[in-house]
Chain A
Amino acid sequence: MNKNKNKKFRSLTFSVAVAFLSLSATVLIIANTLQIYFNICTQRDLIAGRQKLIAQEAADTVKGYILEKSEFLKTAVKVGKLINTDKSEQKLVMEKILGFNQAFRQVVLLNSKQQQILRQSRLSNLLSGQLTEQIKKRGEEILPEVLQGKTYISPVYFDSITSEPLIIMGVPVKDSLGNFQMIVLSEINLKFMWDIVNPIKAGENGRAYVVDSQGALIAFGDIGRVLKRENLLHLKEVAKFVSDSCAYNEGKIKMSKGIMDTCVATTHAHLGTPNWAVMVETPIYEAYAPILSSLNLAAITMFSCFGFSIVASHYLSKRITRPIIHLRDAAEKIGQGQMNTKIEHESFDEIGQLAEGFNQMVEDLQKTTVSRDALIKEVHERKNAEQSLEQTAEKLEQANQELKNFVYIASHDLREPLRKITAFGQLLEKSLGNKLEGDDAENLKFMVDGADRMSQMINGLLTYSRVNTQSQPFQTVDLNKTVKELQKFELSVVLEEKNAWIEIPSPLPCIEGDPVHIRQLIQNLIANGIKYQKKDSVPEITISSKPAADNMVRIEVSDNGIGIVPEYQNAIFTMFKRLHTRSEYEGTGIGLSVCKRIVERHGGHIGVESIPGKGSTFWFTVPRAKELIIAEIS
């Protein structure tokens, strides 16, 4: 418990929310990543395909441009009269070639030995020299090509003044038998190709350009860069083409630095003849726009879903933990004693059932608590009553004690003056003797008798009060011995006077009690048996014992006296209760009250069974001697 107290509180709501969120995020990320991956693959192939298509179309256009020139030259040499004709005819053919298209800058007619027969130019003769130099330079490669009947196309070279890219195109001139006779070479200005390359678009901002087999830029929208004779070998795609122009272009899109020094998706298409390539570049942001768009969409979707997950996780965690929190709060409230607390629940699932169970438990607990409270209240009331009773008993005891004290003090203090009255009364009776007459003597006698009776009564009261005030500790009392001592001392006179005899059929038991009081008790009962006798009857007293419940013993003192009528049998134990006049039987009416008090002090009971005229049996119960009890147990 203490260990748990030391642990930091971890919110279940938070844990559930985090768990749900983590799960959602994981699923989202995996799903989106897969989607993005496959999307990128698909889009990349699409972009590559589209770009390759554009490049191929551009290559076809450029190739078509060159082929057109080639075909025209071939047709012109076939149709025109160049063999076995004069120069003017040849010149006309060449001028017609020049006139066909501005791209034909110069036309040169060579004989089979590659010697120049004629030259026609759109330029002045001043600028025609470069072609001658090129023909000389490339003479060895021209003839083999042309002899095979092919169209010769030279590598690109640049005009020394204008920096415009040029090529030489050569076709054979054959006679009717197909024999090679001459060569027609034409210098073609590639600047006129720019107009067909420039409009080639690769997307919105894509570019197309043409490079030769050396990587030289020969056609591009920004003609300034062509005029600068830029070589683009530093571009990966160009370098790839230059290094292996025959390699199959697998059509995969590549990202690299483009002609504008920006990152582009690039591909190329090889023309074949001439050995050029059309490069197509699309800015990476444009090429991958669909991918970016798809990424954006995926990101938006993911973030939306994530947002939804947050809301959902919050909602679900709250929904799951709210009843639990209610349970916790309710438990706390119940712990604080608010037993009327109840959990409000909306769901009817396991949590709802738990809440229901909790409510039921609280209800039961409430009932139990009510019972307990009632019990506590009752106990409390009883305690109060007991306390009140104790207080009353205490007060009563106190009052009783005060009364006892009063009785004792009164009887003790009254005895002295009364003794004086009795003594002086008796002295007076003796001194006066016969001097008194009539009523005076009788009055004096009454006075002495009264004082004597009062003295007896006071003694009786004193005895009665001494039962409680002058008691001894309980001890084993042998009743046989007690009776014998009574016969010997206190009752010897009266036994003798009345000729009474005491019979003890079987030995009496030892009891636990105050020996003085027990002696007084037995003395009173025996004396009563002797006193209340029919005239001339010999008192016979029988003392016997019987075991009683609760380790008590019942002692019975039977007599053969006058007996007691049943209606007075209970009243005889009341103080000062007398059934007979003084003239019939002497007495103060205190003796049985003293007996009763002694028996009660010993925890026993006293009673009488009597048949008027035949005798009475006074019985009482007292505790057996402890020694006897122990002996029996052992």
Chain B
Amino acid sequence: MKNKQIKLVMLLLILCLLPNGCSKKEKVHRVGILCALDYISEIPDSFKKEMHKLGYIEGTNIIYDVKNTNYEPEKEKQILNKFVKEKVDLIFTFPTEVSMDAKNIAEGTGVPVLFTFANIEGTHLVENIRCPGGNITGCRYPGPDLAAKRFEILRELVPTAKRIWIPYQKGYPIVTSQLEVLYPLAEAAGITLIECPAANAEEIEADLQARETSGDPGIDSMLIIAEPLGVTAEAFAVFGKFAFEHKIPVGGALISAGGYDSIFGVNVNLQSAAKESALLADKILRGRPAGTLPVVSAESFFQLNYKAAQKIGIHPPEGLLSTADELIH
């Protein structure tokens, strides 16, 4: 009789525990984030906030492994390999070059890659916008268009400029596509583009030093394109100082470093990019193949530093002021 009662109690306990035991435990997603550019280092936080809005609570159902580099290709590859080895649920990378590395490293491993702030033109990052293919998707950075837009705005701000100096990271893949856009525009406008490929700030400094010593800098304005070197504080401090000393307007990407400011920036809205990326990440984590999710385009964002412009005697026209998404004054 006692045995029967014990068996009955045990059966009831098993029945009570069974639903819990059988219920699917909520998966804790692991996302590897690699930010390879200090300039856009606010993206991870914005991304996390957007993910939080979508129900991903850090430490509860999602764990982020955030790595920051600043154009350090080897280290970045190591980090990406580590992510792949750890079989993270998603690799979220930015900007372009590291996204390309991520695509290559993760290819065939089943680890999806989500990029943002990456230029897809000329990089073969995706097959096409509507169907990226592979196991990758992301938020597109309209590099050539933004380069052209930066050029147009710079011209509008400094209509007299005939020589535009363009510093960039030597060998950075998306530079070429931008230059390919800029050269025809410059030519049409009778403007000379002066390239300054450099490996680091010192090389930029050396270039500018050489111009200094020659007596004529030979530069009417400076244009920062989408690449990692021009937006580093070290590099900008070098050419920002030079520009300020020679009353040369600097624009393209909004940046302040060493007490010097650029006068405008046309970029994608980082928060918007983070939001779009979070929406895509949500779909991927829910099981949608990344390669089937169309690439979204981040909206461009025009910031005008009216104050900095005035410092160097530039008065932005009313039309530009009207179209600026953010006016700093």
On whether the beta carbons of A126 and B318 are closer than 8 Å, the reply is: no
A195 nearest CB across to chain B (Å): 10
Q: How many residues of B contact A (CB 8 A)?
A: 34
Complex contact B294–A224 (CB within 8 A): yes
Which residues of chain A have C-beta atoms less than 8 A from B181's C-beta? 124, 126
CA distance A222 to B283 in the complex (A): 9
The 7 closest A-B pairs by CB, nearest first: A124-B148, A95-B319, A227-B294, A99-B322, A162-B297, A124-B149, A99-B323
Interface of B is mostly: helix
Per-residue contact bits, chain A 211-254, to B (CB 8 Å; 1 contact, 0 not): 00000000000111001110000000000000000000000000
Q: Are B130 and A163 in contact (CB under 8 A)?
A: yes
State in angstroms the CA–CA spacing of A94 and B320 once bound together.
11
Q: B152's contact among A96, A125, A222, by CB below 8 Å, is which?
A: A125
CA distance A164 to B324 in the complex (A): 22
- A124–B322 CB distance below 8 A: no
Besides A94-B319, A99-B322, A227-B296, 7 new A-B residue pairs in contact (Cβ under 8 A), listed by A number: A95-B319, A120-B323, A122-B300, A124-B145, A161-B129, A162-B129, A224-B283
Q: Give the docked Cα–Cα distance between A410 and B320 (Å).
A: 183
Cβ < 8 Å to A, chain B residues 274-329: 279-280, 283, 293-297, 299-300, 302, 318-325
Decide if B131 is an interface residue (CB 8 Å cutoff): yes
Whether the Cβ atoms of B294 and A125 lie closer than 8 Å is: no
- CB-defined contacts of B297 to chain A, threshold 8 Å: 161-162, 164
In the assembly, what is the distance between CA of A191 and CA of B151, in Å? Answer: 26
A232 to chain B, nearest CB (A): 16
Chain A residues near B (Cβ < 8 Å): 91-92, 94-96, 98-99, 102, 120, 122-127, 161-164, 191, 222-224, 227-229
* 8 A-B residue pairs with CB within 8 Å: A95-B322, A120-B319, A122-B302, A124-B146, A127-B145, A161-B297, A162-B296, A224-B293
Which of B140, B152, B185, B318 is close to A162, meaning CB atoms less than 8 Å apart? Answer: B140
How many angstroms between the C-alpha atoms of A223 and B147 in the bound complex?
26
Q: Closest Cβ of chain B: how far from A217's Cβ, in Å?
A: 12
Q: How far is the CA of A229 from the CA of B128 in the complex (A)?
A: 13
Shortest CB-to-CB span from A342 to chain B, Å, is 41
Q: How far is the CA of A10 from the CA of B70 in the complex (A)?
A: 94
Taking a contact as CB atoms under 8 Å apart, the answer to whether B296 and A102 are in contact is no
- Residue numbers in B under 8 Å from A94 (CB-CB): 319
Give the Cβ gap from A198 to chain B, nearest Cβ, in Å. Answer: 10
B144 at the interface (CB under 8 A from A): yes
Q: Which of A102, A163, A224 contacts B299 (CB 8 A)?
A: A102
Q: A94 to B131: give the CA distance in the assembly, Å.
A: 35
Tell which of B145, B152, B324 has the most Cβ of chain A within 10 Å.
B145
Shortest CB distance A428–B (Å): 122
The answer for the CA separation of A69 and B147 in the assembled complex, in Å, is: 29
CB distance from A565 to the nearest CB of B (A): 108
Tell me how far the C-beta of B103 lies from the nearest C-beta in chain A, rounded to whole angstroms.
Answer: 19
Residue numbers in B under 8 Å from A99 (CB-CB): 321-324
**Could you say which residues of chain A place their CB within 8 Å of the CB of B152?**
124-125
**Residues in B whose Cβ lies below 8 Å from that of A229:** 130
Residue from the list A102, A164, A222 in contact with B325, Cβ < 8 A: A102
In the complex, which residues of chain A have a beta carbon less than 8 angstroms from the beta carbon of B149?
Answer: 123-124
Taking a contact as CB atoms closer than 8 A, the residue among A91, A122, A127 that contacts B319 in the complex is: A91
Cβ contacts under 8 Å, B151 to chain A: 124
Judging by beta carbons under 8 Å apart, are B145 and A228 in contact? no
Tell me, in angstroms, the Cα distance from A174 to B131 when the chains sit together: 45
Tell me, in angstroms, the Cα distance from A102 to B297 when the chains sit together: 14
**Identity of the chain B residue whose Cβ is nearest the Cβ of A95 in the assembled complex:** B319
Instruction: For B269, give the chain A residue with the smallest CB separation.
Output: A102
Among residues of B, the one whose C-beta sits closest to the C-beta of A158 is B130
Choose one: A92, A126, A164, A191; the contact of B148 (CB below 8 Å).
Answer: A126
B146 contacts across to A, CB distance below 8 A: 124
For the complex, give the distance between the alpha carbons of A161 and B323 in Å.
23
